[in-house]
Amino acid sequence: MQAINVSIGFDRRLAAQDLAGSRAHAAMLSKQGVISSEDAAAILGGLDVVEAEMKAGTFPFRDEYEDIHMNVEARLAELIGPAAGRLHTARSRNDQVAVDFRLWVKAACEQTVTQVETLQRALLAKAEANAETLMPGFTHLQPAQPVTFGHHLMAYVEMFGRDASRFRDAVARMNESPLGAAALAGSPYAIDRFATAQALGFDRPTANSLDSVSDRDFALEALSAASIASVHLSRLAEEIVIWTTPQFGFIGLSDAFTTGSSIMPQKRNPDAAELIRAKVGRVLGSLTQLTVVMKGLPLAYSKDMQEDKPPVFEAFDALDLSLSAMAGMIDDLTPNPERMAAAAGAGFSTATDLADWLVRALGLPFRQSHHITGQVVKRAEQLGVGLSDMPLQALQAIEPRITAEVFGVLTPAASVASRTSYGGTAPVRVREQISRWKAKLEKESLG
């Protein structure tokens, strides 16, 4: 029973939050006259000793006390005697763990936002340096239309911006204190839940005592946001893996973010990217794990909910490491502009530019211009040349009204420069988005 019941092995990570909750609760009890000021002073002094022991690594964590709450209370009793027993007045381990866990998840989400923004700044710096660096844009992993490397990186800035927003939204919703809900029905003591909520940095207390102790939506929402962010990290990691292959050769990574082979001395493996790609499984698995724990539970608290913390801890540990590693890789990577530019013109990637020119210059319906362009591409394949190298005579054999002006849109550079619609890949638009995001991140960092 002790082996299956004990949780101190993992919930000791809530020690700081448990001490904060206990301090707020003791101060409130004293102010409300529920316990004496002398007992409150003894409790607060004892909690300071407990905190010091934890920081020094000398705190005696013991399995017989099951969890972090009972370990702290037992040690407090050893330090200050019977007054320690008054700390648990008007609270239960149900609302105690709910407030501890909520504080931990809230802090983890806020820390994740900071890390996401660090990654965004690394992407912005690399994008700004490569606002004009040509590369192929892909659909189905086939060359589609030329873009710039800066534009491609800015797509991830947008993705991670949404991730940061999701974590902020989650924090806003979880920013209510369950402390004082007690076991499930509230407390008969004259407590002030608004005071403890404020002391702990919450906006307000939770409004229903049953919901207060049985809710883990805040953890599920945090894991949902973490899962989406991990998917974004995995997609970028996959591209880094592809781009570093000799077949692509778009970027290089230094020895700081690659590893060698045990038998092949020429290898430089992008292991950091591959591990980020794999760690998404931990995060997605954690969301599923907690969802399954919660899906069949009646109100209010059930012991099943003791299993809520390990998946959350594991997910945020994986996300923390992945975000740090990705920011490091983005700083470290070196693009190969010549290789990218050569690939940008492959696969008749400016075919859409030809179709658009036929619409603009000759007034053709797009569907007709699309058909003509298909014929041009087929003829270029037969001749073994790119679109920009097609003889004018060959073009006019398909559509007599085509003029030499068409060659002004058939190079990758011209194609990229022409995409000036808002959010497009034209360097001027890429730099606008970089400036917008720099200002946005600066504003958010100031508060």
DSSP 11-44: HGGGHHHHHHHHHHHHHHHHHTTSS-HHHHHHHH
Q: If pLDDT is split at 50, 70 and 90, which confidence band does 348 have? A: confident
Query: Is 96 in contact with 102 (CB distance < 8 Å)?
Result: no
Tens digits of per-residue pLDDT, 2-23? 889 899 999 999 999 999 999 9
Quick check: is 261 catalytic?
Answer: yes
Report which residue type is found at 333: L
Mean residue pLDDT of the chain comes to 95
For residues 102 and 213, give the distance between their C-alpha atoms in angstroms, rounded to a whole number: 11
Burial of 99 (0-12, 13-18, 19+ CB in 10 A): buried
- The pLDDT of residue 207 is 98
Mean pLDDT, rounded, for 213-222: 97
- The pLDDT of residue 144 is 87
For residues 108 and 171, give the distance between their C-alpha atoms in angstroms, rounded to a whole number: 10
- The pLDDT of residue 247 is 94
Do the strands 134-139 and 142-148 form a parallel or antiparallel pair, or are they unpaired? Answer: antiparallel
Mean pLDDT, rounded, for 163-174: 98
Identify the three-state secondary structure at position 232: helix
- The pLDDT of residue 260 is 77
Sign of CA dihedral 196, 104, 308, 6: negative
Q: If pLDDT is split at 50, 70 and 90, which confidence band does 259 have? A: confident
Q: If pLDDT is split at 50, 70 and 90, which confidence band does 447 have? A: low
Stated as kind and residue range, the H or E segment containing 382 is: helix 366-383
For residues 182 and 185, give the distance between their C-alpha atoms in angstroms, rounded to a whole number: 7
Confidence check: pLDDT of 445 > 90 = no
Could you please report the per-residue DSSP string of 36-100?
A: -HHHHHHHHHHHHHHHHHHHHT-----GGG-SHHHHHHHHHHHHHGGGGGGGGTT--HHHHHHHH
For residues 53 and 57, give the distance between their C-alpha atoms in angstroms, rounded to a whole number: 6
Q: Read off the pTM.
A: 0.92
Confidence check: pLDDT of 106 > 80 = yes
Query: Is 65 in contact with 8 (CB distance < 8 Å)?
Result: yes
- The pLDDT of residue 262 is 67
Q: Which residue has the tokens 């619609």?
A: 421
Cα first-last separation, the chain? 49
Phi and psi angles of residue 365, each rounded to the nearest 5 degrees, phi first: -60, 145
Identify the three-state secondary structure at position 143: strand
Tens digits of per-residue pLDDT, 225-258? 999 999 999 999 999 999 999 999 999 999 999 8
- The pLDDT of residue 349 is 83
For residues 352 and 146, give the distance between their C-alpha atoms in angstroms, rounded to a whole number: 10
Quick check: is 140 catalytic?
Answer: yes
Q: Which residue has the tokens 């040690």?
A: 75
Mean pLDDT, rounded, for 372-396: 92
Residue 69's Cβ-side half-sphere holds a number of Cα atoms within 13 Å equal to 18
Residue positions counted in the chain: 447
Among 37-51, 292-306, 315-329, 345-359, the minimum mean pLDDT is found in: 345-359
Tens digits of per-residue pLDDT, 21-59? 999 999 999 999 999 999 999 999 999 999 999 999 999
Tens digits of per-residue pLDDT, 428-442? 999 999 999 999 999
Residue 103's Cβ-side half-sphere holds a number of Cα atoms within 13 Å equal to 27
Do the strands 204-205 and 251-252 form a parallel or antiparallel pair, or are they unpaired? Answer: unpaired
Query: Is 177 in contact with 99 (CB distance < 8 Å)?
Result: yes
For residues 19 and 15, give the distance between their C-alpha atoms in angstroms, rounded to a whole number: 6
- The pLDDT of residue 84 is 97
User: What does the DSSP 8-state code read for residue 269?
Assistant: B
Identify the three-state secondary structure at position 435: helix
Task: Write down the catalytic residue from 261, 302, 435, 445.
Answer: 261
- The pLDDT of residue 345 is 85
Q: If pLDDT is split at 50, 70 and 90, which confidence band does 265 have? A: low
Mean pLDDT, rounded, for 290-307: 95
